[in-house]
Amino acid sequence: DAKTTQPTSMDCAEGRAANLPCNHSTISGNEYVYWYRQIHSQGPQYIIHGLKNNETNEMASLIITEDRKSSTLILPHATLRDTAVYYCIVRVRGNNNAGNMLTFGGGTRLMVKP
């Protein structure tokens, strides 16, 4: 799986958009970009994923650059409950190899402030 680079920490004001960047310059053509987050003392939670096109769901938007070497997760109106560590992971989707697992990097610690 391609390596990702994320800032260690970010702050965001409550109600504003939180934009979390991720660099994945060695991503392969068949690798997807996944975002998970981990609220303190909980298991990781899936947010969104994409391959080439920008994606949006009820939680967030994912913007992937045209060369796919970087992406940005956008939380449009951050709340205090969005304070968490956000992980960007790139891997092949639907790989049926039962041994494949998610590899977590350091992630970005997002602090949403009142």
Contact residues for other proteins, defined by CB under 8 A: 34, 38, 41-46, 49, 87, 91, 93, 98-99, 101-107
For the chain, give the longest Cα–Cα distance: 44
For the chain, what is the HEC assignment?
A: CCCCECCCEEEEECCCCEEEEEECCCCCCCEEEEEEEECCCCCCEEEEEECCCCEECCCCEEEECCCCCEEEEEECCCCHHHCEEEEEEEEECCCCCCCCCCCCCCCEEEEEEC
Q: Which is nearer to other proteins, 59 or 63 (CB)?
A: 59
Minimum CB separation from other proteins for residue 33, in Å?
12
Closest approach, Cβ 72 to other proteins, in A, equals 19
Query: Nearest approach, Cβ of 100 to other proteins (angstroms)?
Result: 8
Q: Which lies closer to other proteins via its Cβ, residue 9 or residue 26?
A: 9
Nearer to other proteins, 39 or 80 (CB): 39
Q: Which is nearer to other proteins, 16 or 54 (CB)?
A: 54
Please report how close the Cβ of residue 49 comes to other proteins at its closest, in angstroms.
Answer: 6
